Amino acid sequence: MEISVQGTADAEIPEQNGVAAPPALSLAPPELSPDPILSEEKVLVSVEVCLKPSSTVRADDVRSAVERMLEKRSLSYVDGPVEVPIDNPFLMDNVQRISICDTDEWAKNHGVLLFWQVKPVVHVFQLSEEGPCEEPDADGQLSSFNEWILPAKEFDGMWESLIYEPGLKQRLLRYAQSALLFTEKGVNPFLVSWNRIILLHGPPGTGKTSLCKALAQKLSIRFNSRYPQCQLVEVNAHSLFSKWFSESGKLVAKLFQKIQEMVEEENNLVFVLIDEVESLAAARKAALSGSEPSDSIRVVNALLTQMDKLKSSPNVLILTTSNITTAIDIAFVDRADIKAYVGPPTLRARYEILSSCLQELVRTGILSKFQDSDELLPPNYASVTGNMNLLPREAEAAELCKKLLETAEVCEGLSGRSLRKLPFLAHSSLADPTRCDPCKFLDTMIQTAVRERSELPD
């Protein structure tokens, strides 16, 4: 029987074969999501506040100071930096930067987000400068995992630098936030089932590993009131299964023992990043064909069992990546809740990636400024592809945009990794690298891209 979850008890009950059908299960009619323009409901906007490395003040004091500062702001909210007010010595002394995040989706659907529509949620954090901790094993060999304290200086800005089709990053962030919330609230896993495992798959160089690290960094900032400590353990599955094959069993045991110790501390949020998970399937296959020691299958099984064990800990999220979707162990794919395909960059993403490369070269003085102005930014993709009514003085900017768009078109088929290398390769082929304006530089980028594409395997 179909159960309707809409309608009210007063709704007319249709007759079925002359017999009055039983009343449909009545739930309250769904509420329309309130429009903050018309109602009192506010849009939650994350505001991230990065403390200076030297700062020793309490995060709560900074949060209150930033909240007071934002109350005085009568501007619209868009993603990007907010200036630290110079008349606020407390913030000036302690805060490195303040950024507004996640408003882009709202802006896309509804236009401008005005200050009175917003409820800012302030997250205060300080970056760890410790770097990766690689523990050598008993024989002095490098271990098969790296450990980071989050939020780490090395991953700062990574989230913003990754450009995908709209929605992908938000989807991952929301998924991870829900997964942590469900566990936190003690939702019964027999009634509602979810794992805390994400699988990103797609061609090489599309930013999967970086996206996992950036997501872990983001979550460590967003959840820092609940989890004041946060760690990322980066495991390379390939090295786990091939480098010291006979030792693999011990390595898996050692790795998970270490993770288990981290997880036992309930204020610790632990991310386990397993790269190249397709090697699990390869190890199992090799074991079956007899070309590898037969205990490899036990190692794969041990890994899966250990991952299942971790499921009972509320403070772990497992992030995995693979280049070869079809070859991922089916037992593994089944365990992942979110399987997101991360493909090569679209035209828009290529434009934005190349634009951010140019900005960086202008910022560092390698390229001259656009039209000798103070403006570092070439116009964004939307203004290039939309109806751009440029003023005459902006004609030069328009020229630059067109060139950039042309370059992005030529780069079709190149991965994000290759795109980020392109400016370097182009620069190294310049006859006179000391005199470089952005438009001429883009001509060299086009030539370099054509050469790079011709060298791609068929």
Ligand X SMILES: Nc1ncnc2c1ncn2[C@@H]1O[C@H](COP(=O)(O)OP(=O)(O)OP(=O)(O)O)[C@@H](O)[C@H]1O
Q: Which of residues 402-421 bind ligand X (CB under 6 A)?
A: 416-417, 420
**In the complex, which residue's CB is closest to ligand X?**
416
Total number of residues that touch ligand X (CB under 6 A):
19
Minimum gap (Å) between residue 326 Cβ and ligand X: 15
Q: Which of residues 162-201 bind ligand X (CB under 6 A)?
A: 162-164
Closer to ligand X at the Cβ: 123 or 208? Answer: 208
CA 336 vs CA 195, 239, 284: distances in Å: 7, 22, 19
CA distance 402 to 351: 10
Contact code string over 331-370 relative to ligand X, x by CB under 6 A: --------------x---x---x-----------------
CB 229 within 8 A of CB 265: yes
Among the listed residues 117, 183, 206, 236, the single contact to ligand X using CB under 6 A: 206
Residue found by looking up tokens 């007899």 in the block: 290
Minimum gap (Å) between residue 120 Cβ and ligand X: 27
Minimum gap (Å) between residue 116 Cβ and ligand X: 34
**Could you give phi then psi for residue 329, rounded to 5 degrees?**
-55, 125
**194: burial class by Cβ within 10 Å (0-12, 13-18, 19+)?**
middle
CA distance 24 to 14: 10
CB 349 within 8 A of CB 163: yes
Closer to ligand X at the Cβ: 99 or 161? Answer: 161
Give me the residues paired with residue 399 across strands: none
Closer to ligand X at the Cβ: 329 or 352? Answer: 352
One-letter identity of residue 92? M
CA distance 102 to 238: 35
Minimum gap (Å) between residue 243 Cβ and ligand X: 17
Minimum gap (Å) between residue 157 Cβ and ligand X: 11
Q: Which of residues 40-79 bind ligand X (CB under 6 A)?
A: none
Q: Strand runs (DSSP E) across 268-392, as ranges?
A: 268-275, 316-322, 338-341
Among the listed residues 29, 189, 204, 228, the single contact to ligand X using CB under 6 A: 204
Closer to ligand X at the Cβ: 118 or 278? Answer: 278
CB 150 within 8 A of CB 231: yes
Contact code string over 207-226 relative to ligand X, x by CB under 6 A: xxxx----------------
Give me the residues paired with residue 338 across strands: 198
230 contacts ligand X (rule: CB under 6 A): no
CB 275 within 8 A of CB 238: yes
Minimum gap (Å) between residue 199 Cβ and ligand X: 13
Closer to ligand X at the Cβ: 123 or 201? Answer: 201
CA distance 248 to 256: 12
Minimum gap (Å) between residue 349 Cβ and ligand X: 5
Taking phi over 0 as left and psi of -120 to 50 as alpha, with beta for the rest, 142 belongs to beta
Binding site for ligand X (CB under 6 A): 161-164, 204-210, 321, 323, 345, 349, 353, 416-417, 420
